A and B are shown apart, each in its own frame.
Chain A
Amino acid sequence: MAMRRVRVIGCGSPDGADDAAGLLAARAAARRLAGVPGMEVVEAGPAIRVLDLLAGVDAVVAVDAVRTRGGARPPGRLVRVDGDADVLGRALPGTASSHGVGLADVVRLGAALGFAPQVVFVGVEAGRVGAGAGLSAEVRRALPALVSMVEAEALSLSEEVRR
């Protein structure tokens, strides 16, 4: 069984209220995943930064806050999307994301350029948005579960037999 190279990528903005959740989850997961061979945890900030991070690994766990169109999910609800760029694209339409390019766009662009690691997206539904505020109570309560989910996904991808 070959150990796979896995990169956990935290997305978000540190001062964006619940938008910080992805960064905070990656930071916490980094402590738990330290020392796992082939494992790397990075904080990427805006989604466009993720493009460079898709190269050179077999699998990626991307973690970010999300907003469901129409508010169909309660704040703090965890979300998992596993699939290729098209599946991700359907689940995470990019145009509403800032920085012009959303995460699904970035994964699709990476695939078009020849780097297409397996991508598992882990997210938490945001409650409070906007600069300056801290995490909402709902997202704060969900954070430990989000960290555990990131950790479990990363370990599972790391141990998976290379396809």
Chain B
Amino acid sequence: MTHTVARTPNRVVEIPSIARVEGEGALHLKLSGSRILDLRLEIYEPPRFFESFLVGRRYDEVPDIVPRICGICPVAYQMSAVHGIERLFETDVPAGTRELRRLLYCGEWIESHMLHVHLLAAPDYLGCESAITMAATEREALERGLAIKRLGNDLMAAIGGREIHPVSPRVGGFSKAPATRELRSFLPRLEEALSRTEEVAAWVAGFDPPAFARPAELVGLWHPDEYPMNEGAVRSTQGREFPAERFEDVVEELHVPHSNALHARFRDGGTFGGGSYVVGPLARVNLNADTLTPVARALATRLGLTVPQADPFWSTAARVVETALAVEEAIRLIRDYEQPAPPAADVRPRAGRATWVTEAPRGILYHRYDLDDEGIVREARIVPPTSQNLRHMEDDLRAFLPSALDRDDDELGRLAEMIVRTYDPCISCATHFLTLEVQRT
């Protein structure tokens, strides 16, 4: 993090690279006294490329292409795609497919949440510059968190065929379903992880995040019988409800001049103006507190997380709660598991519009595919959770920073980064570059 400072006549704070964000981001902030003249969260979002890359591909190639958009949450991309296409094709997937997909998603939630809580968020709340400096004092906590994360990775690899870009999910089911015995072998590790999530909660309960209360419309899936991952209606904390097929009627994506990522917003302006809304773990807990599993519910109590709660700094607690939920669900799903046979149903393509929303670790992920009668993609639209949160992140910064303008630039920058990071933005999972500094002796 480097700050460029120009104190007179106006103060300019530039954070050219936001550390510990999944991707690359930059924040430009221009202040005059206690007034914000300009605030721009600049991000680089290459996944847009995939929407055109998908055009001309057949439906069965889609689950192999979309997980490449994100190295951290590939399952989310596969799940929104296969469910949408199967609904259009009216495919009857084999018994057990739904449960196996939920189990796969549990692995991704565990992995992504534990990564964020331990390596990205915790240093903010413990006053450490990074996870590396934090490791000196919090080694046991880090090792515990990374062990739980590893379990999530291993579940993804066992079900998905490999963990980076899972290969087994396909339209119609799975190309190969894991054997019952293989999944059962995870039970002792999952039981241990569940008890360790209580230790994680005790650790996170000791964090001291800033309080930041501001009205917000939180949006996520809602399901009457279970905590939603793969299916449900889209709901908001302000009483909005709509199905996936109406997503683009309700939400529009805007080009903003300072960013090559699109900003999503409610077409009707939203409840609190400006159209911005929030997706992610805190939104899910708000909307689905009734279907939290027992340990998850107990951890929410222990952490002091009660709903309604719109303060974005509670997202870390929500991630811990959802990790326990994903572990509990994984235990239940594995105990009841029956290997789908055959692993996939026959698929008959048909022309039409496939839409679906699932809950990626970072929030709802919308996919739309317009297919012709051979199942060739004619148009694709992908609205990732980060582009839905971007506008709200900027609004948060505008609301929060004026109260902190008496801080020096380093501290102001640190607070701004904390706000951005608590949304766990996945800004450009498709690019990653090392910068090399040449040293000659």
Provide the B15-30 mask, 1 if CB < 8 A to any CB of A, else 0.
0010111111000000
> Is A4 located at the chain interface by the 8 A CB criterion?
no
Question: CA A32 – CA B334 in complex, angstroms?
Answer: 39
Inter-chain contact A68/B436, CB cutoff 8 Å: yes
Whether A96 touches B430, Cβ cut-off 8 Å, given contacts A46-B72, A105-B132, is: no
Inter-chain contact A101/B427, CB cutoff 8 Å: no
> Is B403 located at the chain interface by the 8 A CB criterion?
no
Question: CA A11 – CA B434 in complex, angstroms?
Answer: 10
> Is A134 located at the chain interface by the 8 A CB criterion?
no
Smallest CB gap from A72: residue in B: B438
> Is B47 located at the chain interface by the 8 A CB criterion?
yes
Q: How far is the CB of A111 from chain B (nearest CB, A)?
A: 9
**Residue in A13, A91, A97 whose CB lies within 8 Å of B437:** A91
Provide the B23-67 mask, 1 if CB < 8 A to any CB of A, else 0.
110000000000000000000001111101100000000000000
> Is B8 located at the chain interface by the 8 A CB criterion?
no
> Could you tell me how many residues of chain B have their Cβ less than 8 Å away from some Cβ of chain A?
47
Whether A16 touches B436, Cβ cut-off 8 Å, given contacts A48-B115, A112-B135, is: no
Inter-chain contact B135/A109, CB cutoff 8 Å: yes
> Is A159 located at the chain interface by the 8 A CB criterion?
no
> Is A132 located at the chain interface by the 8 A CB criterion?
yes
Inter-chain contact B433/A66, CB cutoff 8 Å: yes
Inter-chain contact A66/B135, CB cutoff 8 Å: no
Provide the A70-113 mask, 1 if CB < 8 A to any CB of B, else 0.
00110000010000000000111111111111111100110011
**Residue in B165, B431, B437 whose CB lies within 8 Å of A90:** B437
Q: Find chain A residues with CB under 8 A from B24 CB.
A: 96, 98
**Residue in B1, B431, B437 whose CB lies within 8 Å of A129:** B431
Smallest CB gap from B25: residue in A: A98
**Number of A-B residue pairs with CB-CB distance less than 8 Å in the complex they form:** 154
Q: Find chain B residues with CB under 8 A from A68 CB.
A: 435-438
Provide the B103-143 mask, 1 if CB < 8 A to any CB of A, else 0.
00000000000010001100000000011100110010011
Please classify how large the interface on chain A is, using the bins under 10, 10 to 19, 20 to 34, 35 or more: 35 or more
> Is A145 located at the chain interface by the 8 A CB criterion?
no
**Residue in B46, B131, B165 whose CB lies within 8 Å of A130:** B46
Provide the A1-23 mask, 1 if CB < 8 A to any CB of B, else 0.
00000000001111110010000
Inter-chain contact B432/A16, CB cutoff 8 Å: yes
Inter-chain contact A93/B435, CB cutoff 8 Å: yes
Chain A interface (Cβ < 8 Å from any Cβ of B): 11-16, 19, 43-49, 51-52, 64-69, 72-73, 79, 90-105, 108-109, 112-114, 123, 125-126, 129-132
Give 6 pairs: A residue, B residue, CB < 8 Å, sorted on A.
A11-B432, A19-B432, A66-B434, A97-B433, A109-B135, A112-B135
Known: A15-B430, A67-B436, A100-B21. 9 other contacts (CB 8 A): A66-B435, A67-B434, A90-B439, A98-B432, A99-B432, A105-B132, A112-B139, A113-B142, A132-B49
9 residue pairs, one from A and one from B, having the closest CB atoms: A131-B46, A112-B135, A96-B435, A131-B49, A45-B71, A100-B20, A132-B49, A46-B71, A98-B432
